[in-house]
Each structure stands twice: as structure tokens, then as C-alpha cells.
Amino acid sequence: MKKNLAFAVIATLLAGIGAARAAPVVLTIESWRNDDLSIWRDKIIPAFEKAHPNIKVRFAPTAPAEYNAVINSKLDAGTAGDLIACRPFDVPLRHFEKKQILSVNDIKGMDNFTATAKTAWSTDDGKTTFCVPVAAVIHGFMYNKDAFAKLGITPPTTVDQFFAVLDKIKKDGKYVPLDIGTKDAWEASQLAYQNIAPAYYKGEAGRKALIAGSAKLTDAQFVEPMRTIARWKPYLVDGYQAQTYPDSQNIFTLGRAAIYPAGSWEIAGFAKQARFKIGAFPPPVVKAGDKCYINDHPDIGLGVNARTKNLAQAKLFLEFVASPQFATLYTNAVPGFFSLQKTVVNVQDPLAREYAGWRANCDSTPRLTHQIVSRGTPNLEDDLWIKAAGVMNGTITPPAAMGQLQKGLDSWYKPAK
């Protein structure tokens, strides 16, 4: 009896050791996209694992609020996963400079991306890229089609039409005209100011001028959009100062609001939650006939941890990410996140198709504050959150806000002449 038991134990141990030797490599992906967990697990990773049976991939996201602090700690201590999701522009640049992530110049398929697509994840001289671009998001306005139909409104194209529409909705009283809050502050910067401002500072022209130092935030082209969002106040929910981002989402999807400043990332979630048809329109132009501009922002990239123990396998995964197969898979699995590859992807979701369609007529520009001008202390993006929220709350005037922002920028930023 005992002898049999001993044999059984030894056999199990040997089997265990044997299995361990043939164990597949496990790659871990760090990300802030809790939202995408099931999509990676069920759609994207199986596609990769089918082609590479000896590699297993685990998508292990961290709550978005904690991600930056956590990934910094992990990279400093060397405990981060093999693949790192990259925020755009300066955050991963710092990691690259500290030699915590590697260059991806040698990944097969990097020429699938245009130089513009790679700007968010390349060094200033453009020579070295350190994250494979994954997706961009587009900003605009979503609206409740049923509400518009009931009130006989068509989507506005100019700023004056925009306010006329808001007035009409407010007079009717049934719907909240404009659904945005200031408690979380980032919407005031990214969904309000940086959404409509490109129309005033003419997209890339204005953004590059700011970086070069030939334009200042106190110039009219940057102050005007602040004045415009200050005019939004009477059309917001009563008590919007305590309205959080999830509140805004709920108000819209429960059918209580007519217009919702929205990034394309909302598409997937809203499709599930809203009981009405959703339409979208791009940010209004200042004067009829002006060229339209959209905030088309590279949002997610994927880089490789310099201290990974599975470099070869990690690179294989990055090749997969740079492939057209991934582009199609991702764009349609996560509608609203548009691939940055040159490959033309057939976007299936109608609302996503509408957003993507704006690229044809409007000029794209990434968010104003993300490249270079947020490298120092105080960084312009975080500062803009506070000031834009303040303008919408009425606690600071637009010229004062822009003045303080420029002062903060001047305290450390010396544009290369």
C-alpha cells in the first residue's frame, strides 16, 4: 500500500517536472484599459496564440487612476510585465530615456505606420520609435437622435448654430441641453476646450506655433475657445460642479440629455447602454465655410520592457500588433479606437464609421498640450484641467486663466529658437 503511494507520488513529481520543462512562455501586458479586458482575453489574444502555440499572453490591466504611478514604481524596481501600454508623447519618452523601454525600430511592420502616426511615440528628432502605435481616438459631439427628431433640430455646423440649438433645447425643457460636468476636471480640458479649440487656432498650425514659441496662450486664437466654453454654463445640469464623468455618461445613456461632448471611446459602451439612436457631429466651425478641424489623438501604444526575460517572444507580439490583421481585429473589437496603420480598415460600427469619416473632410491634430509643453513642472495638461474647469465653474475669467497657464509654461519652457 505504502509502496504504491510512494510510486504515485514520485510519478506525479516527475510528470510535474516534465511538464514544467515544456511550459509555454507567458507574456504579461501592462495596461490601464480595464475596459478592454474581455476583448483582449476573448478576441485578440486567441488570434495571436493560434499562430504561436508556445506563447501564452496575459492582459493584466491596472485601474487607470493608478496606472502612471504604479508603472513608474514597477519599472524603477524592475517588476513590470513584458509589454507596457504606452500613453502618448512625453510619459513613455521619459521611460525610454531612462532605458526602461526599448526601441522598436527593428520590429517588422513598423513601416506600416506613417511618420505622423509615430510622432507620439518617437524621440524629438524622429529617428527612434519606442512604442508601436495601437490606436487613436477622435473627439466630437454625440447627440440623442430621438431628442433631435422630436425637437426638429439638425446637427449644427457653426458656433452660432450650436448655441441656437442649445437655446431651443433649453426652452423645451425636457432634455438637458449639454451634458458635461467639471468635478473630474479632465473633461473640461479634453472634451470641452481641446475639442473645440482647434477650430480657432487652426489645428497643427497653432499647435506647432505654441511649441515653437511664436504663439502664446494669451493670443486671441487660444483665449476665444475659453470664452466659448464659458458660455456653456447655462446649458449644463444644475449642480454640474459636482457632476462626475460617470454621471455624465449615465445622464446621456438614460436619455436625459440631448448633446454630449464625446470622445470616440464611448462608442462601444454606449451601444450597449443607450436605448435610443446616437448620432455625432464634429466640433462647429467659427464662421460658415471655414475649414473644420478635429482633435484626432494618438492614445495607446505598446512598448517592451527593457528588463523582460522573454524578449524574442515579446518582439513577436509587437510584430503582431504592427500587422494589418491586428488593425482590423482591434478597430472592430473596440469601436472608437482607430488603428494608426496605413492599412484601410473596414469599420463596421456605424457610429465609429461616422467619426472616422470626419478625417476625410477635416484636418486632424492631436491634443494641444501633450507634446513637449507638458514636460516640465507645472505641466500644461494638468494645469489646463484645473483652469478649464475653473472657467466653466465661473471662478476664473478666460483671459486670467490663459494668462496663468502661459505664466506656468514660461516658468520652465524655453522654446528652441
370 is a contact residue toward other proteins (CB under 8 A): yes
Nearer to other proteins, 33 or 315 (CB): 33
- Over the Cα atoms of the chain, what is R_g? 24
The only residue of 393, 397, 403, 415 in contact with other proteins, by rule CB under 8 A:
393
Nearer to other proteins, 162 or 338 (CB): 338
Nearest distance from C-beta of residue 177 to other proteins, angstroms: 15
The only residue of 59, 96, 240, 252 in contact with other proteins, by rule CB under 8 A:
240
Nearest distance from C-beta of residue 130 to other proteins, angstroms: 16
The residue range among 108-116, 123-131, 262-270, 358-366 that interacts with other proteins, by the rule CB under 8 A, is 262-270
Q: Quickly list DSSP for 74-106.
A: HHHHT---SEEEEPSTHHHHHHHHTTSB---TT
Which residues have CB under 8 Å from 10's CB, separation 6+?
Answer: none
24 is a contact residue toward other proteins (CB under 8 A): no
Nearer to other proteins, 182 or 328 (CB): 182
66 is a contact residue toward other proteins (CB under 8 A): yes
- Are 64 and 300 in contact, with CB atoms under 8 Å apart? no
- Are 253 and 266 in contact, with CB atoms under 8 Å apart? no
Q: Which residue has the cell 466654453?
A: 229
Nearest distance from C-beta of residue 126 to other proteins, angstroms: 21
With CA atoms as reference, report the closest residue to 141 among 358, 416, 368. Answer: 358
How big is the site for other proteins, counted in residues (CB under 8 A)? 69
The only residue of 8, 15, 26, 60 in contact with other proteins, by rule CB under 8 A:
60
Write the binding mask 181 to 210 for other proteins: x where contact by CB under 8 A, - elsewhere.
xxxxxx------------------------
Which residues have CB under 8 Å from 338's CB, separation 6+?
Answer: 135, 136, 137, 138, 264, 331, 345, 347, 352, 355, 356
Which residues have CB under 8 Å from 217's CB, separation 6+?
Answer: 210, 223, 402, 403, 405, 406, 409
130 is a contact residue toward other proteins (CB under 8 A): no
Q: H or E segment at 316?
A: helix 311-321
- Are 139 and 366 in contact, with CB atoms under 8 Å apart? no
Q: H or E segment at 143?
A: strand 132-144
The only residue of 1, 17, 20, 65 in contact with other proteins, by rule CB under 8 A:
65
Nearest distance from C-beta of residue 165 to other proteins, angstroms: 22
The only residue of 40, 175, 317, 385 in contact with other proteins, by rule CB under 8 A:
385
Helices (H) and strands (E) in the chain, counts: 20, 10
Q: H or E segment at 189?
A: none
The residue range among 49-57, 74-82, 104-112, 290-298 that interacts with other proteins, by the rule CB under 8 A, is 74-82
Residues 89-108 that bind other proteins (CB under 8 A): 90-91, 94, 97-98
Burial of 173 (0-12, 13-18, 19+ CB in 10 A): exposed
Neighbours of 243 (CB within 10 A): 21
Nearest distance from C-beta of residue 60 to other proteins, angstroms: 7
Binding residues (CB under 8 A) for other proteins: these are: 32-35, 37, 60-66, 68-70, 72-74, 76-79, 90-91, 94, 97-98, 181-186, 237-247, 249-251, 254, 263, 265-266, 268-269, 273, 370, 374, 377-379, 381-382, 385-386, 389-390, 393, 395, 408, 411
